Structure 1
Amino acid sequence: MNIWHICIFELRRILKIRSVVLNLFILPLLLIFILGTALSSTMGTADDVIPDSVRVGIIHLSTESGGGSDSLNQALDTFVHSPAVAEMVKVQDFKTEEEAVHSLRTGKLDFAVMIPSDFEENVMRGKEARLQWIRGKDNTLNTLGETLFTRFTDEWNRQMAMTRVLGPEVIAAMSSSSKSGAESSTSITVVNPGKTGTAYSASQYYAASMLAMFMLYSGMTTSTSLFGERDNRTLIRLQAAPIGNGVIFAGKIAGNSLLAFLQATTIILMTSWFYGVDWGTHPWYIVLTCVGITLASMTLGVIVALICKTTASASATIQGIIIAMTFISGGFRPIPIDFVQRLSEFTVNHWALQSFLRMMLDAPVGEIVYSILMLGVVCAVLLLISGLIYRKAGYRYE
């Protein structure tokens, strides 16, 4: 008896368990269908996401509030009427905040900008000056409005800083030598990541995230299998055979690894055929990513199996770890929080998901390889930890 015999026996034994087939093969396909259909309106499709024009209300400063307010209002008018910005915003002028708020509530405006009374005073003192936003009902249009007018304040602060350092004469000479200076300062381009003209759909996103999550569940079958030999007292019989513990252990790991690859192949092919999921044009990178997830799954199952004392505690532990990593990495829903996004970079799911999405978007090969390498780093750390624990605890009946 060698590793290959144990591997095939392990694979055949697992595939006879109906609950395993249901949880690892059928359940992920159902979740991908449900999530992809229910949340299709919240994510992009294969077309470019072109933002709608935003109806913006601008509450101008009164000329009585300061001598420099006319120049500020003039600069703001120049900005919003420049060709690049005028395509995205429709501007209306207001004298009071109450009028703008009323228009927002009645749906006549999408977004409003109010110039604080101390705006130019902060600029003259060298402080950072910002406009005040009055947000509407559409978060997407709010984000677009904030981005555009933040661009204006950044440019205004930069020009004021240059005026203080170089003097108004130098700035005037620079402006007269470049007639297109004002227009170039408002040039804004909106593009999508990856290949121009592509964006992943909800089905693609959840196909990638559920594939990563359920491949990790193969590690739970590994820990259950390792505990099963102990609980059924068959490990003593195996150890009585003329084979070492390492062969038994490696055979079980190999069998569950084949199960993970079979699972990945099924999910990828079924989602491609029935759900129309486009996995990109890099099949070998997909295989390499699946190898990394499989390695992480097996090492995670080994770590939990060697640390926990019972099957129930091992199953609960590994399920908690997988769900936590999936949640943090945005597998259920993208989380736009910087701390959570930084924390997700330490998880298997994050780099697996990024690898799949970048392949789907046909991103540059360097970006795909980077994600796969980072996945390999996480796997290497898990492999090192599992090796140290196995060397100390071993796989034996206690």
Structure 2
Amino acid sequence: MNTWTIMIYELRRLFRSRSMLLNMFLLPLVLIFLLGASLSGVVGVKGAAKIDPVRVAVVNPSGEGAGPSAMIAAFLKLPEVQKVIIPQEAESRQAAESGLRAGKYGYAVIVPGGFDSEVQSGKKAQLEFILGKNRTDNMVAGTAFDNFLSTMNYKQAAVATLGPEALTVSASLPADHEAVKLGDLNNGGRTYTASQFYAASMLLMFLLYSGITVTSSLFSEKDNHTLHRINSMPVKGSELFIGKILGVGIVSIVQCLAIILLSDWLFGVYWGNRPGLLLLFCLLMIIASMTLSIVICLFSKTAASASSIISVITVCMTFLSGGMAPLPDAWVNTIGAVTINHWVLQAVIRMMLHSELSQILPNLLIISIICLVMFSAAIFSYRKVGYHE
């Protein structure tokens, strides 16, 4: 009963503080708006770049009885191929190379003599490619023709293994894929914006900052010299301690919900398709933050020193996890992995991108282990030091 009374009193005290309301509820939203608007072109997964069609020089075999390859011509007439390749006939290999050097063509394909007849006789389909100056053009055209050759050789292998009936069966099946398909191979085509990134980053940073609220709550009784008076009453020290921590924890949960809901309503921040899992990660973040602050407070002599330590730890963790500015992935995934923010931030971003649950569960396991370790450290610290003047 005493614990709930102390918790309610702590809630009243915190919600009456204007500075607390400004710092915990208004400031995060302001930072999300400013950072999301000013860094929209710097942070976030950019959309797929537009691919311009590549001019491809096609050199067909010359000589008596030789002519354009019907298979190559049929492939180049496919609607999806015409979106990325503009075929142009070249008289000879020398003409194609000259056009590549002059920038007339972006890629060249040399069709060997008797290509169609060799493929029809069961031999391996082969073409000769000459790269151009532009790396993207080479990649686009090369991917298209590689796909063509892979399909032809796959059919050849099927015929060699299963007999001519394999082609008949293959032709009767509906086509379930395109020869060339444009799209974003990352995250099923989904992207995240700067507002989403900084909303997640600022949410986690201010949940860590809730440790300062723990500091002010625990040291307020000491600084006001009321802790000794409370201990003289029929109130256990553990009841007072737990009541205060529960009060701060509830405020942190309300802060978390307010940031998520208001950022969605005011700025259109999309938090993903797993709200329950998102709240679970936020709850674990609150537990980790509060237990870390408890350990620091119990071993600190003054509120100022405890608040300074928590502030430095919060800023360092946010920076190392890449939450303040874009950092190289190698940096974030090595040094940043030692921070609490890293595991929760990566999980939130993946939820925004609709990643599979299997990609999120490892982060949940690690942050749960961190919470368990920090909770054990907080219990050990309380039993060793206690909460007294």
Aligned to 1:371: 363
Residue of structure 2 aligned with 1:302, choices 294, 298, 321: 294
CA distance in 1, matches of 2:317, 2:52: 37
Q: Distance in 1 between matches of 2:81 and 2:326?
A: 29
CA contact (8 A) 1:328 1:341 kept: no
Per-residue deviation, 1:362? 1.5
Alpha-carbon distance in 2 for matches of 1:317, 1:145:
53
Shift in alpha-carbon separation, 1:43–1:234, aligned structure 2, 3 A: same
The residue aligned with 1:245 is: 237
1:291, distance to aligned residue in structure 2 (A)? 0.9
* One-letter amino acid matched to 1:276: G
> Could you tell me how far 1:94 is from its partner in structure 2?
10
Residue in structure 1 matched with residue 32 of structure 2 by the alignment: 32
When residues 11 and 87 of structure 1 are mapped into structure 2, their CA distance, relative to the original with a 3 A threshold, is same
Q: Secondary structure at the match of 1:362?
A: coil
What's 1:67 paired with?
Answer: none
Change (3 A) 1:89 1:16: farther
**Structure 1 residues 339 and 189: CA distance shift in structure 2, 3 A:** farther
Identity %: 40
Of 22, 46, 49, the match for 1:51: 49
Q: CA deviation at 1:191?
A: 3.4
Unaligned runs of 5+ in 2: 55-75, 87-95, 104-132, 147-156, 161-179
Residues 113-160 of structure 1, C-alpha deviation per residue, up to 9 Å, x if partnerless? xxxxxxxxxxxxxxxxxxxxx99xxxxxx9x79999xx9xxx9xxxxx
Q: Secondary structure at the match of 1:334?
A: coil
Aligned partners of 2:219 and 2:302 also within 8 Å: yes
Letter of the aligned partner of 1:225 in structure 2? S
Give 1:248 deviation, angstroms: 0.9
Q: Does 1:292 align with 2:290?
A: no
- Give the Cα–Cα distance (whole angstroms) in 2 for the partners of residues 11 and 203 of structure 1: 31
Q: Alpha carbons of 1:310 and 1:211: their partners in 2 closer, same or farther (altered >3 Å)?
A: same
Q: 1:382 aligns with which of 371, 374, 377?
A: 374
* Superposition deviation, residue 284 in structure 1: 1.1
On the 8 A contact 2:6/2:244 being kept in 1, the answer is yes
> Which residue of structure 2 aligns with residue 202 of structure 1?
194
> CA, structure 1 residues 257+312, in 2 after alignment: closer, same or farther (shift >3 Å)?
same
C-alpha change, 1:51 and 1:304, in structure 2 (3 Å) is: same
Q: How far is 1:31 from its partner?
A: 0.4
- Higher mean displacement: 370-379 or 9-18: 370-379
Pair member with larger Rg = 2
Q: CA deviation at 1:354?
A: 1.6
Assess if the C-alpha contact under 8 Å between 2:8 and 2:247 holds in 1.
yes
319, 323, 347: which one pairs with 1:331?
Answer: 323
For residue 255 of structure 1, the aligned residue among 247, 251, 257 is: 247
Query: Are the structure 2 counterparts of residues 202 and 393 from structure 1 closer, same or farther at C-alpha, using a change threshold of 3 Å?
Result: same
Distance in 1 separating the partners of 2:32 and 2:302? 32
Distance in 2, Cα, partners of 1:321 & 1:54: 48
Measured in 2, the distance between the counterparts of 1:15 and 1:310 equals 24
Do residues 358 (structure 1) and 350 (structure 2) align? Answer: yes
- SS for the counterpart of 1:345 is helix
Task: Report the residue type matching 1:237 in the other structure.
Answer: R
User: How far apart in 1 are the matches of 2:383 and 2:362?
Assistant: 31
Contact between 1:257 and 1:294, CA under 8 Å: does it hold in 2? yes
Residue 167 of structure 1: aligned partner:
none
CA distance in 1, matches of 2:332, 2:340: 14
**Distance in 2 separating the partners of 1:55 and 1:332:** 39
The 3 A distance-change label for structure 1 pair 299 and 87 is farther
RMSD, matched Cα = 4.4
CA contact (8 A) 1:53 1:89 kept: no
Q: Across the two proteins, how many residue pairs are aligned to each other? A: 321
Report the counterpart of residue 166 of structure 1 in structure 2. none
Q: Distance in 2 between matches of 1:200 and 1:255?
A: 34
Distance 1:250 1:227 in 2: 14
User: Aligned pair 1:228/2:200, yes or no?
Assistant: no
Moved more, 214-223 or 335-344: 335-344
Cα deviation, residue 258, structure 1 = 0.3
| In structure 2, C-alpha distance between the alignment counterparts of 1:309 and 1:365, rounded to whole Å | 44
Deviation at 1:88, TM superposition (A): 7.7
Contact 1:213 1:322 in 2 (8 A): yes
Please give the secondary structure, in 2, of the residue aligned with 1:215: helix
> Counterpart in 1 of 2:106?
none
Once residues 218 and 236 of structure 2 are traced to their aligned partners in structure 1, the CA distance between those partners, rounded to angstroms, is 15
In structure 2, relative to structure 1, the CA distance for the partners of 1:9 and 1:192 (3 Å cut) is: farther
Q: Does 1:347 align with 2:339?
A: yes
Q: CA deviation at 1:320?
A: 0.5
So what's the TM-score if we normalise by structure 2?
A: 0.68
- Give 1:42's aligned amino acid: V
Rounded Cα–Cα distance in structure 1 between residues aligned with 2:49 and 2:311: 40
> What is the aligned counterpart of 1:191 among 180, 184, 191?
184
Q: What do residues 71-110 of structure 1 show as CA deviations (whole Å, max 9, x unaligned)?
A: xxxxxxxxxx9x99998899xx999xxx99xx9xxxxxxx
Contact residue 10 and residue 248 of structure 2 kept, 8 A:
yes
Contact 2:191 2:353 in 1 (8 A): yes
- The alignment status of 1:314 with 2:306, answered yes or no, reads yes
The one-letter amino acid paired with 1:217 is Y
Between the aligned partners of 1:145 and 1:291, the Cα distance in structure 2 is 49
